[in-house]
């Protein structure tokens, strides 16, 4: 039988271990190594929460917004606000000019578009109502946005030793999962996943880590109040997860809680 001293000693070490693990992995305050992160669509929702938590953890944060003049919540985080509509060549060219020679360690392609009618209203553009215009809008924002923003910022990412590209996807994109019927959103995010795989093909050889990351169903304008997660819960798991990525994890699809997803 163990003596009282041995029992006390092992509980003490267990307690110490728990405290250490919590401080390393349990909060959003991943170890800041003086890194810079750029987040698209950072004026509200998950993008805004990413900005808040990265600033708090000591990162240099660029947050983009289509209308910087009204991005007051983003400004209040302390992030540097830059104008960007991810479908605008003009905005992308201006962004490239502004950021010339500046290192970006983490690019979070977060800006996203669901469609004209949100989940919260119970209706979605489906097979008999979706239009070519609507499909094109979804693909332009969700698939081509991350592709061309990444292409434009490659010189900045190449200045980093830990170059990471995080494409915010969704379980609605999964070919292996039952469809919820939002055709524009699901098809465009499935396309985004192929962008991830193809980027990985070209960029992993150059030391990049590229992943698709699904944030879970969150209470935001897009996720509606039916979301199961508060943005701070989802983001406080994703930040340390992004920090822990290794080259072997590149080119894959991950859930916000660190579990691997099927395509």
Ligand X SMILES: NC(=O)c1ccc[n+]([C@@H]2O[C@H](COP(=O)([O-])OP(=O)(O)OC[C@H]3O[C@@H](n4cnc5c(N)ncnc54)[C@H](OP(=O)(O)O)[C@@H]3O)[C@@H](O)[C@H]2O)c1
Under the rule (CB under 6 A), what is the footprint of ligand X?
Answer: 40-41, 43-47, 66, 84-87, 110-113, 141, 168, 170, 214-215, 217-218, 220-223, 227
Which CB, 162 or 224, lies closer to ligand X?
224
Closest C-alpha among 139, 223, 149, 222 to residue 185: 139
253 and 194 Cβ atoms separated by less than 8 Å: no
Q: Is beta strand 106-109 parallel, antiparallel or unpaired with respect to 253-255? A: unpaired
Using CA atoms, how far apart are residues 25 and 5, in angstroms rounded to an integer? 30
Question: At closest approach, how far in Å is the CB of 90 from ligand X?
Answer: 12
Question: At closest approach, how far in Å is the CB of 239 from ligand X?
Answer: 15
Which CB, 47 or 184, lies closer to ligand X?
47
Question: At closest approach, how far in Å is the CB of 242 from ligand X?
Answer: 14
Question: At closest approach, how far in Å is the CB of 149 from ligand X?
Answer: 9
The DSSP element (H or E) to which 109 belongs, if any, is strand 106-109
Which CB, 170 or 250, lies closer to ligand X?
170
Which CB, 83 or 158, lies closer to ligand X?
83
DSSP 80: E
Which CB, 18 or 175, lies closer to ligand X?
175
Question: At closest approach, how far in Å is the CB of 107 from ligand X?
Answer: 13
Q: Is beta strand 260-261 parallel, antiparallel or unpaired with respect to 60-65? A: unpaired
3-class state of residue 233 by DSSP: helix
Which CB, 46 or 203, lies closer to ligand X?
46
153 and 164 Cβ atoms separated by less than 8 Å: no
Question: At closest approach, how far in Å is the CB of 56 from ligand X?
Answer: 18
Which CB, 170 or 196, lies closer to ligand X?
170
Using CA atoms, how far apart are residues 200 and 90, in angstroms rounded to an integer? 27
Question: At closest approach, how far in Å is the CB of 119 from ligand X?
Answer: 8
Instruction: Please enumerate in sequence order all residues whose Cβ is within 8 A of that of 200, keeping only pairs 6 or more positions apart, or say none.
Output: 208, 210, 250, 251
Using CA atoms, how far apart are residues 44 and 184, in angstroms rounded to an integer? 22
Q: What are the C-alpha distances in Å from 120 to residues 182, 226, 239, 245?
A: 13, 7, 27, 33
């Amino acid at each position: 039988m163990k003596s009282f001293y041995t029992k006390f000693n092992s509980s003490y070490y267990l307690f110490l271990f728990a405290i250490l693990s919590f401080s390393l992995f349990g909060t959003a305050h991943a170890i800041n190594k003086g890194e810079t992160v750029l987040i698209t669509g950072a004026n509200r929702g998950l993008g805004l929460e990413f900005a808040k938590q990265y600033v708090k953890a000591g990162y240099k944060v660029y947050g983009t917004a289509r209308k910087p003049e009204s991005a007051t919540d983003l400004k209040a985080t302390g992030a540097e606000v830059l104008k960007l509509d991810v479908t605008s060549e003009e905005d992308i060219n201006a962004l490239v000019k502004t950021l010339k020679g500046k290192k970006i360690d983490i690019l979070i392609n977060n800006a996203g578009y669901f469609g004209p009618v949100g989940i919260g209203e119970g209706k979605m553009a489906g097979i008999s109502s979706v239009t070519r215009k609507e499909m094109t809008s979804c693909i332009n924002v969700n698939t081509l946005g991350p592709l061309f923003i990444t292409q434009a910022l490659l010189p900045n990412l190449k200045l980093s030793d830990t170059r990471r590209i995080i494409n915010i996807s969704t379980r609605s994109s999964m070919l292996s999962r039952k469809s919820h019927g939002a055709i524009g959103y699901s098809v465009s995010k499935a396309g985004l996943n192929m962008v991830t795989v193809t980027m990985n093909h070209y960029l992993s050889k150059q030391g990049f880590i590229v992943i698709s990351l699904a944030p879970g169903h969150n209470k935001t304008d897009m996720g509606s109040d039916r979301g199961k997660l508060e943005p701070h819960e989802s983001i406080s798991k994703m930040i340390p997860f992004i920090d822990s990525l290794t080259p072997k994890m590149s080119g894959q699809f991950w859930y916000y809680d660190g579990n691997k997803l099927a395509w």
